[in-house]
Structure 1
Amino acid sequence: MLTSQRKLLLLEMLNREGKIVATGAAQALAVSEDTIRRDLRELAREGRLQRVHGGALPASPAMGDFAARQQIAPDDKSAIGRAAAAMVQPGQVVFIDGGTTSAQLVRQLPPGLQATVVTHSPSIALELVSHPTIEVIMLGGRLFRHSVVNVGATTVDAIRQFRADLYFMGVCSVHPEAGLSTGDFEEAGVKRALSAAAAETIVLASPEKLMTASPYQVIPLSELSALVTVASVPEETLSPYRQRGITVHLASRIPSHRTPATDEYHQMI
């Protein structure tokens, strides 16, 4: 069997089963485990999958830069942002991550809401400049241009000064077994610190991020309080998260004749 044919079969296996186990793939394709591992390394370099111990998981399409990610699932992110904005209560201190879905969240916070938003994202802070009753606290650090967020030891030290009610996290990947992961080591460390300093961590995940993995783990799924995604995600995709005790909020898109005030989202446990 040609290498190209074997790689196609591995990708078909990944698409069908949601993961590749190297030992099982070697038996199925009648080749050595070393051959499978070499194929997986090459496919990972091409961005076709994410290698994990013993095999591989689907790679996240959300690994592109900020500009590229703005083009992915904009309607889903808008719905998720509305649902998340409705969770913020008056008087709360809220960590809000950087990212395109987080931008949708802050745009839809009620005009009269009195709260404090702490963020390491310059773009999130700018979105809130015109909000009259939200206090905005910026966390300093080195600007990570790829995601337009501040990272590094300075950022982590500043996070330790807060005890937030909620942390709205954005990540590249959310997987029942691999947990929450992202594409940069320092960014993962900042997200981990934000989660540790918040009473509840709520991940904002458009459908393309579910059941995928990225290189750097942020936290295991057991440390997550809730997941916000869209109502169109199939139940078989959501079931592994619910089985691990995660509250799943399903956001619905607003039809063209409706307004944000009439939108509803469903909470399912």
Structure 2
Amino acid sequence: MDAVAVTLDYPGHQERTRISDLADPALPIELHSLLSNPLPRAFSAEAYAHLLLENQPPTAPVKAVVSYCLASPIGYAVARKLSDGRSAPPVLVVLDGSPCPVESVRDAYREAVVRFAERDLEPAVAFTGADLTEHPDRVLGAMERELREIASRSLLEEDPDEDFEEDVLDALVTDLVGHSVAWLTHLIASHNAVFPEWDGEVVMVMSRDHAFTGPWPGARATRVITVDCTRAELVSRPEVRAVLTGLSSAHA
């Protein structure tokens, strides 16, 4: 099998089919996952894409880049980087993909705060899109500190009779908060994406209620395929497998 597609599907805890789950000897294209732990700590799509390709370099020429949801701005940067020196760029397939607005970062942060606090709680850290672009490390640092404070307080309140050693508590909090910080870093990098002109094609495969309908910014051409399903069902649908099968005949 000499057809390779690199994939970007964030390794979170959602109960859904992953792009990597579609790997099958009957599929005429090999799926090479770029998003695996430990994930990069970079604050722009370009820098994040560079580290992904450096850490998980493809072992064969890439026919396509396949990305899910808010990983797609980083997928665009990956596709552009893989186009260098090639007569035909890889195809970028985005599954319910879109640019990442500041609201998505805010929502993800609030979800993390509520999850650690185990109650409805408004975050103390506020930020704008300009803050994410101009001072991403400062914003992420403030979010991480607040999450650590909330997680520490919750652990102590959950078991007040437990006499936590300071280093044990710190290790527990670091592990808990680390997953959220990695996700927020990923979203900040996606938010801080630029979309220079690219002489490639984007295939947007979207579920019925997906809000962003294209065209994909910067791309030469966008083809849209709408599937009558929910977002959670999209990756497992035969229409997605058909697109992946068709990629094997794309020009290298």
- Range class of TM-score, shorter chain: under 0.3
Q: Which of the two has greater helix per residue?
A: 2
TM-score w.r.t. the length of structure 2 is 0.27
